Structure formats: structure tokens, C-alpha cells
Amino acid sequence: MCFSNITRFPRLVARSAVWRRASCTDGNSRRGFRRAGVSLVELLVAVSLSSVLFVAIGGTVAVAVMSLPHPSDGAVAHLDSAVSLQDLADELRFATSVTESSATLIEFTVPDRDGDGNDEVIRYEWSGTPGDPLIRQYNGGAAHNHVESVQGFALSYVVDFAGEVQSAEQLFILEDQTGFSAGGFANIGVGDMAAATFMPTLPAGTLRWEITKVELYLCKSGNSNGVNAVELTEVAADGSPDETRVIQSVQVLESELPDDFYPVAITAAGDLDPTLGKAVVVRPVSGNGTTVKLNYGTSGSANPNTAAWEHFQGAWSPLATRRYFLKVYGTYTAPGNVVSYVDVSLTYGPDAAEDIARQSVPLLNRPAQ
């Protein structure tokens, strides 16, 4: 042991036991130097504090997770519905025409998107059954669900009047042999009459309509001296032809009719009431025996907008299983309405008052309805 330094410098003894051990030169001096460490008590305290901290952090994360909205929550459903409604509005806003519309359906065109020079056709439709999807269809392709489950979907239209518009000529009535599996002909002579009544299906809101041409299929009856009148007339209250109110009339000579059935036309009758049908009447004026034949069909799907009649012994009688072959061409005049706004509502939940998204969509091009 080395004590010589201790006796010479006694004050240094109290300063540091470490210095005292370091000044010794025997081989065991390294055992006296120890690195500082963590005691068991300190370790237990640290672990306890860490546990408390981790529990606190875990609780905070759990509260944060529980506060996130669930997909079934009303807020999420409202947001999803609002986004879907906005997608519809973004397309509808640029409509150039509305080709079909109702409270639960709208089909419209938008300007060309794919460079083929043709407008694109977009259709949204809901069946009206709660729980069914709102369907979107593009250019007649496969339909897909735009919104999966819909409790209600409603469209209403703000329409502005933009004057009267006359349609192009179209075929209002068509009765020919294609709709019947059997047929025949009727011989008409002086004192009798035959007629076909008709009422075209006109668009809602039609102001008036015009007949540009009526074709009735006739041929000669065998003699060549008959004179016939083919008349466009009004219809009586019971639906029968009213031969006393003639709108237009043409004379048809039997000698000028072919041996086979040929369309005989009456033209130009305008400003007609869209709620009233009309009749075309064949009335023999003079001649021996029968003066004309009319072609008709039976055993087929009769057009509900037409009816066949015969005038025998002074009275008109309907022929339920017969339809005289005829064609009716014409035009109609309707208000030139344009759509300025479409109000859209989408109900996504059971509460119709609360679970609903709405949007009023201005149509920038003001398309015709």
C-alpha cells in the first residue's frame, strides 16, 4: 500500500478517494475505478413513468379514432350524396337539348367530348322504388349505379316560353297490311258510306295540328261509271263520322282508279283542335251498283287511335274487328319552351326532411324541352 503521499499532504485525503486510488501503482488499482450506472430503483421508476405515458397516448389515439366519422354516419352520407349530385349538375349545366324528361328521369345532350363530331347523350334515371340505385347511362352504353341506394330522387323544371314552334311533317297514323294477318275489301254503292276515324297522339301542350295528307287505299269496283267523294270530316260526340261537317273534299272517278288498291289523298287541313279526332269518309255520289272498293285488315293488333265505320240504312255502325288501310301525315304546333333551371333533390336516408341533398342547376344553353 502507498501511504507516503497521504502523510505529506493530509488535506488531499479528504478531497477525493478516487485521486487517492489513482495515485497508487500496484496492479490492483483498476479495480477501484467504476463507471456510473442505473440502479434498480431508478429503472423501476422509469418503467412506471413510461407505462403511464403510453397509456395516456393510447387513450388519446383511441378517442381520436372514435371521433372519426363512420361511413354509415349521416354526415358522410350527406357528403357522398352532395358530391354525386354535384357530378350530375356539372354535366347537366352544359346541356344543349333535353330529349326526355320526367320527375325521375332526364336525358340530355352535351357538346362533343371525344372528337367524333357528335354530341354526347347522358341519361340519369331512378325507378321510383326506395332503395334502388340512381342510374347513369352514357351514349346508350351499359348503365351503372351513380348512387347505390336512393330513398328519393326528384327533378322539377323551370321552363320559359320562347314562342310557338311548328314541327316537321311526320306520319301520325299508319294502318297497313303489316299489322294484320288477314284482310279483305268492302264494296260501297250509292246510298251507303264507309269511313275511318283517327286521332293522332300529340305531344303534351300541343296548341293545334295540321293534316298535310291523308291516304286511303281504294280501287275500282268493276264498273267504270261511278263518281265518289272522299271527304275529311269532323267527328261527332259519339265518335262516329259527322258527314255534315266537311273540312275538305275531293272527287274520285271510278274510271280513274286502278284495278289494284291505290292511295287516294286529301291534302291541306290546318288549325285543327288537338283534342278532337277527324274522319275520312268515302261517299258514292252516282253510278250503277257498287262504285268503289276499300282495303281493310282484320285479325291483327288494332290501332286504338283509329276505328272503322259503315253507314248502312241511314246510321253509322262501328266495325270493331276491321281497320281500313290509311296513312295520315301532318304537323303540330307547340309552345317553344326552353329549360332555364332544373331543381334536383336526392334523399339518401329514411328521414325525408333531414336526409336530403338539393341543388338548383342553371342550364347555360337554355335548351328546348
pLDDT score for 61: 77
Domain count, the chain: 3
Half-sphere exposure of 155 (CA within 13 A, CB side): 25
Q: What band does 81 get if pLDDT is binned at 50, 70 and 90?
A: confident
pLDDT in tens, 20-35: 444 444 444 445 545 5
- Tell me which of 19 and 164 has the higher pLDDT: 164
Query: How is residue 69 annotated by DSSP?
Result: P
Residues 196 and 269 in one domain: yes
Domain-located, residue 329: no
Q: Distance from CA of residue 243 to its chain's centroid?
A: 45
Please state, in angstroms and rounded to a whole number, the distance separating the CA atoms of residues 222 and 292: 8
Residues 285 and 357 in one domain: no
- Tell me which of 266 and 11 has the higher pLDDT: 266
Stretch 59-79: mean pLDDT: 63
How much is the pTM?
Answer: 0.56
Mean predicted lDDT score pLDDT of the chain: 85
Q: What band does 146 get if pLDDT is binned at 50, 70 and 90?
A: very high
pLDDT score for 70: 55
Domain-located, residue 218: yes
- Tell me which of 4 and 286 has the higher pLDDT: 286
- Domain containing 208 equals 177-324
Domain-located, residue 98: yes
Domain-located, residue 171: no
pLDDT score for 21: 46
Domain-located, residue 330: no
- For residue 253, what is the enclosing H or E element? strand 241-253
Residues 158 and 62 in one domain: no
The answer on pLDDT for 349 being more than 90 is no
The answer on pLDDT for 84 being more than 70 is yes
Please state, in angstroms and rounded to a whole number, the distance separating the CA atoms of residues 222 and 290: 8
The answer on pLDDT for 1 being more than 50 is no
Residues 249 and 290 in one domain: yes
**Burial of 93: CB neighbours in 10 Å, binned 0-12, 13-18, 19+:** middle
State the cell numbers at 286: 252516282
pLDDT score for 128: 95
Residues 286 and 190 in one domain: yes
Q: Distance from CA of residue 140 to its chain's centroid?
A: 11
Q: What band does 76 get if pLDDT is binned at 50, 70 and 90?
A: low
Q: What band does 354 get if pLDDT is binned at 50, 70 and 90?
A: confident
Residues 218 and 156 in one domain: no
pLDDT score for 73: 53
Stretch 136-144: mean pLDDT: 95
Q: What is the percent of the chain where pLDDT is above 70?
A: 84
CA-to-CA separations, 72 to 2, 57, 181, 307, in angstroms, rounded: 85, 28, 59, 59
Residues 275 and 193 in one domain: yes
Domain-located, residue 367: no
The answer on pLDDT for 41 being more than 90 is no
Please state, in angstroms and rounded to a whole number, the distance separating the CA atoms of residues 351 and 72: 14
Domain-located, residue 80: yes
pLDDT in tens, 189-232: 999 999 999 999 998 889 999 999 999 999 999 878 999 999 99
Residues 133 and 269 in one domain: no
CATH of residue 247: 2.60.120
pLDDT score for 45: 79
Q: What band does 171 get if pLDDT is binned at 50, 70 and 90?
A: very high
Residues 81 and 97 in one domain: yes
pLDDT in tens, 289-329: 899 999 999 877 667 889 999 998 889 999 988 999 999 99
Are the C-beta atoms of 339 and 366 separated by less than 8 Å?
yes
Stretch 143-170: mean pLDDT: 91
Please state, in angstroms and rounded to a whole number, the distance separating the CA atoms of residues 250 and 54: 103
Domain-located, residue 30: yes
Residues 207 and 307 in one domain: yes
Q: What are phi and psi of 57, to 5 degrees?
A: -65, -45
Residues 292 and 209 in one domain: yes
Please state, in angstroms and rounded to a whole number, the distance separating the CA atoms of residues 13 and 244: 149
**Burial of 214: CB neighbours in 10 Å, binned 0-12, 13-18, 19+:** buried
Please state, in angstroms and rounded to a whole number, the distance separating the CA atoms of residues 307 and 324: 8
pLDDT score for 4: 46
Residues 320 and 183 in one domain: yes
The answer on pLDDT for 237 being more than 50 is yes
Stretch 337-349: mean pLDDT: 92
Please state, in angstroms and rounded to a whole number, the distance separating the CA atoms of residues 75 and 98: 33
CA-to-CA separations, 171 to 167, 215, 230, 332, in angstroms, rounded: 12, 11, 20, 11
Q: Which residue has the cell 333535353?
A: 98
Are the C-beta atoms of 212 and 268 separated by less than 8 Å?
yes
